[in-house]
Homo-oligomer: A and B are copies of this chain.
Amino acid sequence: MTVTLSFLERVQQIAEALLEAERGEPVAPPREPSEMARHIAVGPLDDDDTAGRTGLTCMAGVAPGRKGLAIEDVLDALERVALATPRTGTRRFFNQLFSGRIDAAAAGEMIASLLNTSMYTYKVAGPHALIETALTQHMARHIGFAHNEGEGVFSPGGSLANLAAMLVARNQAVPDAREHGLDGRRLTMYGSADCHYSIRKNAGMIGLGRRNLRMVDCDERGRMRPDALEAMIVGDRQAGALPVGVIATAGTTVLGAFDPIEPIADVAQRQGVWLHVDGALGGTVLLSRRFRHLVAGSQRADSWTWDAHKLMGVPLSSSVVLVRERGLLEKHFSEAAAYLFHNAETELDHGVRSIQCGRRNDALKLWASWKHFGDEGYAQRVEHLFDLARHAADEIESRPGLVLTCRPESVNVCFEVRGKPSEAICQALRVEQLAMVGHAEVGGRRIIRVACVNADMTTADIDAFLDAVEDVARHVRDGDNAL
């Protein structure tokens, strides 16, 4: 309430400075941590508690001090930090599965932060509880869950959305698990060898054990082999395990591959195990007539993860976990809390279906953006990104110095520079402020992964990026990418 509008003017100035800097230098100057610490230090340096901890000599000025600084100085510091931050919003950022900015989404996020409410009850979330319902139902409808069935809740990231789904799968298979704990039987779940590491991490967290997240072989494009899945389930069951669920990935982290949901659903059905689709990256293809064939059978899944902060371009995080059977989230996550949940009717008290209690508003930004684009506008955006990736693959194949790892199924394009180490190429691109891109491992080789996720990009940006790769490759030492 005491917020002053002058601070908003200063925020606008900082945003202006940031946009100006991004135009001039789309890749922020890379700095070693100790240099960065000196650069952003804004407080007294005499209070050097963290120096030894990190090996950084200037962390004291980064840490809060005993005395405060004037608000003007703090806002100046925010500007300095903003300008020193890696520029994920620019057309030279290919490093992660999110990028770009959308006006409506940014506005939604900023207003949500001013409103600062929590999403657990209709009483305090008000319209935002309705917005969350409208979005999750809209997503459930695109998956193909039956009319008025299915339910979902926002989750702080795809990893924790997967966690919630895996917990529901576990509890459905072992009905006593939530109340009495696991009973020592060996429970198993299944993901592809290329599934996201959160699946393995979650298996460790929910009491299965990471070793009981079984890795199913993939085909040459990185897609789970349903025959291998079924053989593994059958073998594990014969060995005395209790298979409880399979996680199909719609858009793997490195290759962007889509596991074939339809035949995997057949296996899951035959074997009586839960089917979760981790569509953190690829869920958005549901909106595209051209590409939703990649998730054919989507409606047969028991649960889904769908990140809007990836292909839908809204700020981190905006992840949703959805289950086909309405009521399961509440069944497995609700707790009595007389100080919080006052109504018998919990339709709009989304706290009863969340792994969290207090929960920030990750829905408004997506709502604003989706209202602006509509399903059709989002379909076009996704198709543009896929077309960019196809263009990148074509262009790589046409350049003799580059080697395409495989044809992309979605927005990730993996390749190498012939005879040059991928890691050094990525590093050189960053140091020379030409592009930010990451490397990964595929088939025993270290490759460069280009993520085409900023819809502002054009084919000219892709070409310029590949030109830059070839340029820096000339002065990078020779080397092989075999691991």
Tell me if A290 is interfacial: C-beta within 8 Å of chain B: no
Q: Are A130 and B33 in contact (CB under 8 A)?
A: yes
Q: Which of A98-129 contact B (CB under 8 A)?
A: 98, 100-104, 106-111, 113-118, 122-129
A247 within 8 A of B: no
Is residue A230 within 8 Å, beta carbon to beta carbon, of the partner chain? no
Interface stretch, picked from A337-345, A384-392, A398-406, is A337-345
Would you call A200 and B368 a contact (CB within 8 A)? no
Mask for A1-31, Cβ within 8 A of B = 1, else 0? 1111101111110111011001100101001
Q: Which 9 A-B pairs have the closest CB atoms?
A: A184-B184, A207-B207, A181-B209, A68-B374, A339-B440, A156-B156, A64-B370, A63-B134, A62-B134
Whether B1 and A124, one on each chain, are in contact in the complex, defined by CB atoms closer than 8 angstroms, is: no
B125 touching A211, Cβ below 8 Å = no
| Contact partner, A49, options B78, B115, B147, Cβ 8 Å | B147
A269 within 8 A of B: no
A186 at the interface (CB under 8 A from B): yes
Interface flag for A187 (CB, 8 Å): yes
- The reply to whether B156 and A201 form a contact with Cβ atoms under 8 Å apart is no
A245 at the interface (CB under 8 A from B): no
Per assembly, the copies of the chain total: 2
Determine if B160 and A356 form an interchain contact, defined as CB atoms under 8 angstroms apart.
Answer: yes
> For the complex, is A91 an interface residue (Cβ under 8 Å from B)?
yes
CB contacts (< 8 Å) of A449 on chain B: these are 339
CB <8 Å contact, B3 and A117: no
Interface string of A177-195 (1 = CB under 8 A from B): 1111111111100000000
A347 in contact (CB, < 8 A)? yes
**Contact bitstring A397-440, B, C-beta under 8 A = 1, else 0:** 00000000000000000000000000100000000000010111
CB-nearest residue of chain B relative to A483? B338
A74 adjacent to chain B (CB < 8 Å): yes
| Inter-chain contact A107/B212, CB cutoff 8 Å | no
Q: Give the distance to chain B from A51, nearest Cβ to Cβ, in Å.
A: 9
Q: How far is the CA of A114 from the CA of B101 in the complex (A)?
A: 8
